[in-house]
C-alpha cells in the first residue's frame, strides 16, 4: 500500500520511514527512526529527486508505481551518493531503460564504485549553475561539496522556488504522516534531534555549510525539501538561523552543560553540587550528563547548544576515563570550536585527567580553558569555598 504526500500540485513526497534501524551509519542511536525522503516531479517529463535506503526499497517502489500510474521516469537526479539515498539507482536503471541519470562527474565516478552498471548514454552530466527543464519546472544545480560528501549537489526548482537540499536541513526521526514543518511542533519535538543530526553528521563541515548558505541566500527559496526529516514550507528563517549558528560554531544559548565521567560516583556528586551553585547564580538551561550512559552524539549536540561546558573526569589508570576520552576525540573530529570549558578532575593517588584533558582541548580550535578544580577522591564541605569560587568564575565568564 502506498504512503505518499503531495508537496505541490505536481510534486509528491515518495519517501519512506525506517523505525527498525537501531543505529544510523551503524553508529548513532535513532530511537525515533529516520525518514529517507525522495520526491517525484510529475511534469511533462518526470524527474525523481534521489532514491532511498535499501531497507525500504519495497515500500519505495510501491510509492513510485502509485504516483507514476503507468508513466516512466525520465530523469533520476542524484544529489548524494551515500547509500541511504542512492541504494536504488541500479534497480531503477533496469526498470526504466530510457531514464537519464542526472549527476555531476564525482557522482558518476561513485555510481561506478557502488554499482556494476553501464552508464554510456544513460548520464546527463551537470555542473554548477546548469539547468534542466522538465516542462514547466526548471531545475538549477548548485554544487555543495562536503555537505556532507564531496559529490553533493542541491537543486533549485525555479517554478515552485523549492530547494532540494540533500542532507542539509535534515533531521533524525521518522515522519508520522505529518511531513510538513507546519504540521508538527518542530521546536518542541524535533529540534534536539535536528541538532544531534547536524552536529554529528554535518558538524565537521561548518565552512562548507556556510558557503552553501551563501549560495542559497541568493535564491528566492519558499520551500526546503531535505533528504531526512520534515519538509519546510513556512518559517524557513527559524531553521536557516539554526544552521547558520551551528555552522559558525556559535552556541545557541548562554548556558552550561556539565558532563562527567565517574567510576564510583564522587565526581558525579561534585558535579551535582556545582550545578546547584550555577542555578543559584541564575544560570538557566543547565544540563548534567553521565558520559558513561549518554551516547556521545547527544553530548556533542548539547555542546553545540551551550556556550559553556564543564568536563568532570576521574583519573583512570593514569589517564582520562574512557567515556570522556571518547568525547574529546569526537569533539576534535567534529571540529567543535568557540566554547569555554571548565574542568574538574578526580584521582585517589595521582589525579592526572585534568592536565591531560587540557592538552587535548589545546589541540582544538578556539577553546578557552577557564578553570580547573582538582578533587582527591571526595569533594567535602571543607572545600565549599573552592567550589563556590569555581562556580563564580564560570558565571563571570558567561
Ligand atoms: C581501574 C581504576 C584505575 C584508577 N586509576 C587511577 C589513577 O591512575 N590515578 C588516580 O589518582 N586515581 C585512579 N583511580 C581512582 C579514581 O580516579 C577514583 O575512582 C576517583 O578518585 C573517585 O572518583 P569517582 O567516585 O568519581 O570514581 C582509579 C580507579 C579505578 C577503578
pLDDT tens, 219-240?
Answer: 999 999 999 999 999 999 999 9
Q: Are residues 108 and 241 in the same domain?
A: yes
Q: State the CATH number of the domain containing residue 129.
A: 3.60.15.10
Q: Are residues 262 and 128 in the same domain?
A: no
Q: Are residues 292 and 168 in the same domain?
A: no
Among 269, 290, 293, 315, name the best residue to mutate to test ligand 1's pocket (greatest count of ligand atoms within 8 A of Cβ): 315
Across the strands, what pairs with 39? 13, 49
Q: Are residues 221 and 278 in the same domain?
A: no
Q: Are residues 232 and 189 in the same domain?
A: yes
Q: Are residues 88 and 63 in the same domain?
A: yes
How far, in Å, is the centroid of ligand 1 from the Cα of 345?
10
Give tens-digit pLDDT for 308-360.
Answer: 999 999 999 999 999 999 999 999 999 999 999 999 999 999 999 999 999 99
Q: Are residues 369 and 286 in the same domain?
A: yes
Does the predicted TM-score (pTM) go above 0.90?
yes
Q: Which residues line ligand 1 (CB under 6 A)?
A: 262-267, 314-318, 346-351, 377
Give tens-digit pLDDT for 134-188.
Answer: 999 999 999 999 998 999 999 999 999 999 999 999 999 999 999 999 999 999 9
Instruction: Burial-class residue 111 by CB neighbours within 10 Å (0-12, 13-18, 19+).
Output: buried
- Supply the pLDDT for residue 371: 83
Q: Whose CA is nearest to atom 10 of ligand 1?
A: 347
Stretch 115-135: mean pLDDT: 96
Q: Whose CA is nearest to atom 12 of ligand 1?
A: 347
Q: Which of 217, 247, 277 is the last residue of a domain?
A: 247
Residue 35 CB contacts under 8 Å (≥ 6 apart), including other chains: 15, 16, 17, 18, 173, 174, 175, 179, 228, 229
What domain count does the chain have?
A: 2
How far, in Å, is the centroid of ligand 1 from the Cα of 258?
20
Q: Are residues 232 and 297 in the same domain?
A: no
Question: How does the average pLDDT of the chain come out, rounded?
Answer: 97
Q: State the CATH number of the domain containing residue 296.
A: 3.40.50.360
Q: Which of 191, 220, 247 is the last residue of a domain?
A: 247
Q: Are residues 93 and 182 in the same domain?
A: yes
- Supply the pLDDT for residue 266: 98
Determine the atom of ligand 1 nearest the C-alpha atom of 266: 25
Q: Which of 195, 213, 247 is the last residue of a domain?
A: 247
- Percentage of the chain beyond pLDDT 90 is 99
Q: Residue 12 pLDDT > 90, yes or no?
A: yes
Q: Are residues 39 and 139 in the same domain?
A: yes
**What range defines the domain where residue 195 resides?**
5-247
Q: Are residues 215 and 72 in the same domain?
A: yes
Q: Are residues 24 and 151 in the same domain?
A: yes
Among 258, 261, 262, 263, name the best residue to mutate to test ligand 1's pocket (greatest count of ligand atoms within 8 A of Cβ): 263
Amino acid at each position: 500500500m502506498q504512503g505518499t504526500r503531495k508537496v505541490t500540485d505536481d510534486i509528491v513526497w515518495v519517501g519512506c520511514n525506517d523505525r527498525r534501524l537501531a543505529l544510523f551509519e551503524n553508529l548513532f542511536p535513532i530511537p525515533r527512526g529516520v525518514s529517507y525522503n525522495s520526491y517525484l516531479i510529475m511534469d511533462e517529463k518526470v524527474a525523481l529527486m534521489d532514491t532511498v535506503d535499501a531497507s525500504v526499497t519495497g515500500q519505495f517502489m510501491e510509492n513510485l508505481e502509485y504516483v507514476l500510474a503507468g508513466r516512466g521516469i525520465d530523469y533520476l537526479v542524484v544529489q548524494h551518493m551515500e547509500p541511504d539515498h542512492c541504494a536504488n539507482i541500479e534497480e531503477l536503471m533496469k526498470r526504466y531503460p530510457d531514464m537519464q541519470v542526472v549527476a555531476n562527474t564525482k557522482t558518476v565516478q561513485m555510481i561506478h564504485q557502488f554499482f556494476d552498471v553501464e552508464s554510456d548514454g544513460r548520464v546527463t552530466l551537470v555542473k554548477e549553475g546548469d539547468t534542466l527543464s522538465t516542462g514547466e519546472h526548471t531545475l538549477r544545480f548548485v554544487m555543495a561539496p562536503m555537505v556532507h560528501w564531496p559529490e553533493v549537489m542541491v537543486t533549485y526548482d525555479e517554478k515552485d522556488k523549492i530547494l532540494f537540499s540533500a542532507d542539509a536541513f535534515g533531521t533524525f526521526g521518522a515522519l508520522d504522516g505529518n511531513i510538513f514543518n507546519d504540521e508538527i511542533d518542530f521546536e518542541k519535538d524535533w529540534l534536539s534531534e535536528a541538532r544531534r543530526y547536524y552536529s554529528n553528521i554535518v558538524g565537521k563541515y561548518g565552512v562548507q555549510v556556510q558557503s552553501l548558505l551563501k549560495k542559497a541566500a541568493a535564491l528566492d527559496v519558499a520551500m526546503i525539501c531535505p533528504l531526512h526529516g520534515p519538509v519546510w514550507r513556512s518559517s524557513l528563517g527559524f531553521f536557516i538561523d539554526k544552521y547558520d549558528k551551528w555552522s559558525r560554531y556559535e552556541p545557541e544559548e548562554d548556558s552550561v552543560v556539565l558532563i562527567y565521567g565517574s567510576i564510583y560516583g564522587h565526581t558525579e556528586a561534585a558535579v551535582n553540587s556545582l550545578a546547584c551553585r550555577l542555578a543559584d547564580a541564575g544560570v538557566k538551561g543547565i544540563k548534567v550528563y553521565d558520559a558513561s550512559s549518554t551516547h556521545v552524539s547527544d553530548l556533542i549536540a548539547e555542546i553545540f547548544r551551550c556556550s559553556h561546558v564543564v568536563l568532570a573526569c576521574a583519573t583512570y589508570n593514569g589517564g582520562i576515563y574512557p567515556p570522556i576520552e571518547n568525547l574529546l576525540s569526537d569533539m576534535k573530529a567534529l571540529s567543535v570550536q568557540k566554547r569555554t570549558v571548565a574542568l574538574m578532575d578526580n584521582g585517589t593517588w595521582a589525579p592526572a585527567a585534568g592536565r591531560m584533558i587540557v592538552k587535548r582541548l589545546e589541540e582544538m580550535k578556539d577553546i578557552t580553558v577557564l578553570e580547573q578544580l582538582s578533587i582527591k577522591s571526595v569533594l567535602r564541605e571543607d572545600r565549599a569555598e573552592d567550589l563556590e569560587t569555581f562556580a563564580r568564575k564560570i558565571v563571570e565568564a558567561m
